[in-house]
Amino acid sequence: MHVQTGFIVLLCLMGFTCAEPVKFKDCGSATGKVTIVDISPCPVQPCQLKKGGSYTVNVTFTSDELSQTSTAVVHGVIAGVPVPFPIPNQDGCKSGIQCPIQPQQTYHYINALPVKTEYPAIKLVVEWELRDDNKKDLFCIRFPVQIVS
């Protein structure tokens, strides 16, 4: 076993999160640019979200604009129809970002994605937006998931 591989396995065994970057599509980021999206745990793609579970979404992005605030809006897109997907905290400034958001700086937005037990087992696309003061998207990303029992 290579030393680097052994170190990663050791970190995983010690309880550190071993997130793999998730394939995503930009859906209209107006004032920022996303570089990495991690969902934990997500060992396979599309991510399989178990009913009753909670997942961590970590989006690394840079901003092109100054913004005093940031607000998250999340939808599940089913057959082309966006359905609101509630998250525990919509305030991006309380989700790993120190506001005000400054231009040309990199941020790590971190939030929870709870999956309610009453959700149907279905494949869908999650659309996650983080909006600035002017309700323009700092980022807008889409990534496929599958809700499982």
Q: What is the pLDDT of residue 18?
A: 55
* DSSP strand pairing (137-148 vs 47-50): parallel
pLDDT, average across residues 119-147: 96
Percent of the chain with pLDDT over 90: 83
How confident is the model over 49-94, as pLDDT tens digits?
999 999 999 999 999 999 999 999 999 999 999 999 889 999 999 9
The residues spanned by each domain of the chain are 19-148
19-148, CATH topology level = Immunoglobulin-like (2.60.40)
Cα separation values, 13 from 4, 21, 50, 80, 113, Å: 14, 19, 22, 40, 24
